[in-house]
Structure 1
Amino acid sequence: MSQRPAPAGASHHGPGHDGPGHDGPAPAGAVRDAHGRLQAPKTRDVTVVGPLGGAGAAHAAAAARRGRSTALVAVGDAGAPERAVRAALAAAGVEVAPGPGDRLDDAARVRDAAALVSGARVVLLRCEAPDAVLLAAARLCTGLLVLDPAPPRPLPPELLRRTDLLVPGAAELAVLAGEEPAADVEGLVRQARAVRPDGTSVVTRGARGCVVVTPAGVAEVPAVPAGSGGAGAGGGFVAALTDALLRGAGLVQAARAAVAAGRDGPDGHDDGHDERDERGSGT
C-alpha cells in the first residue's frame, strides 16, 4: 500500500512510532500501515521544510533540477530578498507555500501545508527550523522522513524516533550524542547507535566519504577520486542521496551516488558537510 522509498534497515519511524494518525481522529475509510500511520496518496517526490533563504531551500531547488516534483514549506523570515528567492525557486520548479504576506506562525504554516507534507514520498528536514516546526512536519509525514541535523543542536527524542534516515556529519552526530566528535569510524558507529539504537544513519565524512549504519550492519563508502567526473551531477550529498533512493537504489548504492555528488553543493558548490566533518573528526 505504501509508496515510500525504503532504504534497507530504515526504521520507518521506528518501533512504537504512533504516527500522524494517532495525533488526531482518522477520517472515514482511512488506511493505516503496520505502524499505525495514516497513509496518504503521494502527489510529489520531495517536500522540504525550512527557511526560504536556507540550505533546505537550496536542496529543494537541487531536487527540482533533478526532475523531482518538489515543494518547500517556507518557515521563518526570509528577509528583504523574499520576492527574489521565491522567483528563483519558482524558476527551478519548486512550489512554495505559504504565499507571500501570510501572518501564520511557523508551526501553523506547516499544518496549513499538511497536504504538501503528507503527500510527499520524501520529507527533508534540517535544523534551520525550530523544534516545534520539525515535530509538526514529522507528525504529518507519511513518506520517508530524512533529517539533516545541521546546524547542530540537541533534538527531541520524538523527532529522532520518527526519523527514518538521519544524515549527520561527525560534528552534528557528536552534539546529538553529547560527546566530543569521534576520531574514527568505530567511534562514529558507536555514537550513531547510541543516538538511535534501532535507527538508520548515513554519517558524512567529507573528503573521506561516508559511513552507512543500520541495525543490521555497517558499510564504509569511500570518497570518489578527484577528477573522476562523479560530481558532475551536482546537487549536494543529501539531494543526491534522496534522489537515488527515489530511483529505487539500495541505501549503500544511494550513499555512493551521494558521495560522488556531495562535493558539489545544491547550487554547484560544496554543501558544507566536507568542511564541518574535517573540523569535527579531529583528524
Structure 2
Amino acid sequence: MYDYDLLVVGSANADLVVGVERRPAAGETVLGSDLTVHPGGKGANQAVAAGRLGARTALLARVGDDAHGRLLLDSQRAAGVDTAGVLVGGAPTGVALITVDPSGDNSIVVSPGANARLTPDDVRAAAELLGRARVVSVQLEIPLGTVAEVARTLPPGARLVLNPSPPAPLPADVLAACDPLVVNEHEARYILGETGEAGEAGETGETGETGEGPEEWARALLALGPRSVVITLGAQGALVAEDGADAVRVASPRVGAVDTTGAGDAFTAALAWRLGLGEPLAAAAAFAVRVGAAAVTREGAQESFPTAQEVGAL
C-alpha cells in the first residue's frame, strides 16, 4: 500500500523575479520592475503543483535555516505536501535569479545553496520514504550523484520520472530507469549531442544524426535506454513515445501566456501523478498539457499552479 501518489526528490529555491522590457545582452544593463520573492525550485515546484491537484505528495529536499527556507516550507504545507523529508541546514537556501520579458519568456540563473548538499547518504537515509511512494520524480538542480542514488534505490514497482533540467550528461543506469524521461526541445538536443548552447542548434554530436523534429528525437532518445520519453513543445503541447509504439502528439489548449516560469514543473508533476493513477502515457500527458497551459496564464511559479477544478474549466 502506497502512502504517497508522488514523492519529489529535488531542489527548493527562493525565486527572485524582475520584469524587464527586454533581457540584457552581454555587458549591458537594463532597468527592471520591483523585485519580488516567490517560493520555487524545480523539486519544490513539482511538489506544490501535485499537491494543488489533489495528489498525496511528499518532498525530499534540503533548505537553509533562514527566511527563504521558512518561506519554502510554508508554501509546501499550504499545498498539503508532507515536508517530513525536507532537511534543514548545511548551507543557505538556494536562490534563482529570474528575468521575465513582456511575452512571458524568462531567463534563469540558479545559485544551488543547500540543494548542492542533498547527498546520496540523504537518499539512503530516506529509504522508508521512497518505499511509500508510487512514483518518484527527480530533476538536475541537485547533484547528479544524488539522482543516480534515487535511480539505484528505487523500490520494486515504483516508477521514476526524470526531467534533466538543467541538462547534463546522464549515466546509462539513470537513463535506463526513466519511465518517462521528460525533456523540452533544448534538453532533447543536448542529450543527443546536437547542442551545448541553450536554444541554439549546433553541429551533430557523437550520437550521430538525430533527425529534424520531435518524432526523430524521441526515437533517438529511446535508443539511449529510457523506457519512455515525453518531449514538451510549449504552446504546441507534447509528444510521447514508448518503445515498440508510434510516437503520439498531444495538443495544448490555446491560452494567453503571462509568465512561463514553472510551467514545465507543473506539467511534469501532473504527468507523474496521473501515471501513478495508472493512466496510459498519452492520457497522462493530455492532462499534463492542460495543467501547464493553465500555469502560464498567471505570474510566478508556485502561485500560478492550478487546482484540478481550474484545469477542468480550462
Q: TM-score, normalised by structure 2?
A: 0.64
Residue aligning to 1:32 = none
- Asked whether the equivalents of residues 138 and 162 of structure 1 are also in contact (C-alpha less than 8 Å), the reply is yes
d(CA) in 2 for partners of 1:200 and 1:257?
17
Unaligned runs of 5+ in 1: 1-40, 228-233, 271-283
- Is 1:204 the counterpart of 2:232? The answer is yes
Q: 1:177: Cα distance to partner?
A: 1.3
After superposition, the Cα gap between the structure-2 partners of 1:140 and 1:58, relative to the gap in structure 1 and judged at 3 Å, is: same
Unaligned runs of 5+ in 2: 14-40, 92-116, 196-200, 202-210, 257-262, 296-300, 306-314
From 216, 223, 227, the counterpart of 1:187 = 216
Q: 1:123: Cα distance to partner?
A: 0.2
Q: 1:56: Cα distance to partner?
A: 1.3
Q: 1:185: Cα distance to partner?
A: 2.9
Q: 1:49: Cα distance to partner?
A: 0.8
Residue aligning to 1:240 = 270
Residue aligning to 1:49 = 9
- Asked whether the equivalents of residues 148 and 167 of structure 1 are also in contact (C-alpha less than 8 Å), the reply is yes
d(CA) in 2 for partners of 1:47 and 1:186?
30
Q: TM-score, normalised by structure 1?
A: 0.71
- Asked whether the equivalents of residues 263 and 269 of structure 1 are also in contact (C-alpha less than 8 Å), the reply is no
**Aligned 1:70-149 pairs, distance under 5 A:** 70-75=57-62, 80-96=67-83, 97-101=85-89, 106-142=119-155, 143-149=158-164
After superposition, the Cα gap between the structure-2 partners of 1:241 and 1:208, relative to the gap in structure 1 and judged at 3 Å, is: same
- Is 1:157 the counterpart of 2:172? The answer is yes
Paired residue secondary structure (2:46): helix
After superposition, the Cα gap between the structure-2 partners of 1:64 and 1:155, relative to the gap in structure 1 and judged at 3 Å, is: same
After superposition, the Cα gap between the structure-2 partners of 1:105 and 1:213, relative to the gap in structure 1 and judged at 3 Å, is: closer
- 2:241 alignment partner AA: V
Residue aligning to 2:284 = 254
Q: 1:166: Cα distance to partner?
A: 0.7
Residue aligning to 1:61 = 48
Residue aligning to 1:17 = none
Paired residue secondary structure (1:207): helix
d(CA) in 2 for partners of 1:76 and 1:90?
14
d(CA) in 2 for partners of 1:167 and 1:77?
29
d(CA) in 1 for partners of 2:240 and 2:118?
36
List structure 1 segments (4+ residues) > 4 angstroms apart after TM superposition. Answer: 76-80, 102-105
Q: 1:252: Cα distance to partner?
A: 0.9
Paired residue secondary structure (1:176): helix
Q: How many residues align?
A: 224
d(CA) in 2 for partners of 1:119 and 1:50?
17
d(CA) in 2 for partners of 1:78 and 1:136?
25
d(CA) in 2 for partners of 1:67 and 1:120?
15
- Asked whether the equivalents of residues 214 and 231 of structure 2 are also in contact (C-alpha less than 8 Å), the reply is no
Q: Which has the higher strand share?
A: 2
